[in-house]
Amino acid sequence: MLSRNYICNILDKAQKADPDYIVFGANKHTYKLNPPIEAAEVKAIEEKYSFTLPEDYFKFITEIGDGGAGPDYGLYPFADFEKSNYPTIAKRFCPHNASPEEAKEINLLYEVYEQNKDKVFTYTLDDNSDDEWPYLNGFLILGTKGCQYDFIMPINGKHRGKVFDTDNETCFYLVAKNFNEFYTNWLGDIASQKLLKKAQDLEARINALKKGTKKVKIKEVKKETKKKNKKKH
């Protein structure tokens, strides 16, 4: 059962273990969870845009925290809904499982598709449809992974409440059955220091490459110096 005290305890330990914020996105959210938002403010936004949030997410933002520490660059505050979401949120979210042919066209490694066919979804764009960008309908943007990639939560249809990664160009990859599962999985990776170890390993490899590059450059300079000296003599 998620609670603010439970989560903040994990985040405090994570911040102490990663004071330089080398985990991807940590320098943005700094392992801090925002205060909760008033339920009345959430309901006012729901009423204005004609949608209803899934229950677990509603409880999270009104009882635990509205945005802040979370996967990648963190969670967007629902209070900033109008800054980060599409006005088409009340429209139907209805992608279908991608076929092998479609998987080759979307922004996803085909090897990933072959291993997770039931998790890859896309849209067939209809030139005769009045809806120019149907793949932007019916979901709340929870946060960003950087560049064009976001993680989103449909608020209607059979996928309501699930969490997907998307490239915002018709590709949707299922990552969790609901928001609580999505956030709990991330907390587990933080608590076990899985993400920190991954970041430390990446940093070590980058440093090793830099050192290797420097050595190569030094050798090249020495060779050039020897050539010049030979020409002089």
- 21 and 56 part of one domain: yes
- What's at 212, amino acid-wise? G
pLDDT higher than threshold 80 for residue 218: no
- 10 Å Cβ neighbour count for 50? 9
Could you tell me the residue range of the domain that residue 114 belongs to? 4-192
Over residues 59-74, the mean pLDDT reads 98
Structure tokens at 39: 């339920």
**What integer pLDDT is reported at residue 232 of this predicted model?**
44
Please tell me the total count of domains within the chain: 2
Give the C-alpha separation, 108 to 106, whole Å: 6
Categorize the per-residue pLDDT at 58 as very low, low, confident or very high, splitting at 50, 70 and 90: very high
Alpha-carbon gap, residue 50 to 13, rounded angstroms: 40
Residue 142: the pLDDT is: 97
> What is residue 55's predicted lDDT score, i.e. its pLDDT?
97
Same structural domain, 87 and 179: yes
Do both 147 and 231 map to the same domain? no
Rg, C-alpha atoms of the chain:
23
Q: 118 and 173: one domain?
A: yes
**CB environment 152-175: b (16+ within 10 A), e (fewer):** bbbbbeebbbbbbbbbbebbbbee
Q: Is the pLDDT of residue 168 over 50?
A: yes
Q: How confident is the model at residue 127 (pLDDT cuts 50, 70, 90)?
A: very low
In the sheet with 163-166, reading across from the earlier edge strand, the strands are 96-97, 120-122, 172-176, 163-166, 149-154, 139-146
Same domain, 135 and 209: no
Q: Within a domain: residue 84? A: yes
233 and 162 in a common domain:
no
Q: Predicted confidence band at 128 (pLDDT cuts at 50, 70, 90)?
A: very low
Tell me how far apart the alpha carbons of residues 61 and 153 are, in angstroms, rounded to a whole number. Answer: 14
Average confidence score pLDDT of the chain = 88
Weakest-pLDDT range from 89-93, 108-112, 118-122, 150-154: 108-112
Q: How do residues 4-57 score in pLDDT, each as one tens digit?
A: 999 999 999 999 999 999 999 999 999 999 999 999 999 999 999 999 999 999
Residue type, 199: A
Whether 197 is covered by a domain: the verdict is no
Can you tell me the distance from the alpha carbon of 134 to that of 166, in angstroms, rounded to the nearest whole number?
A: 14
**Angstrom distance (rounded) from CA 74 to CA 151:** 10
List pLDDT tens digits, range 135-148: 889 999 999 999 88
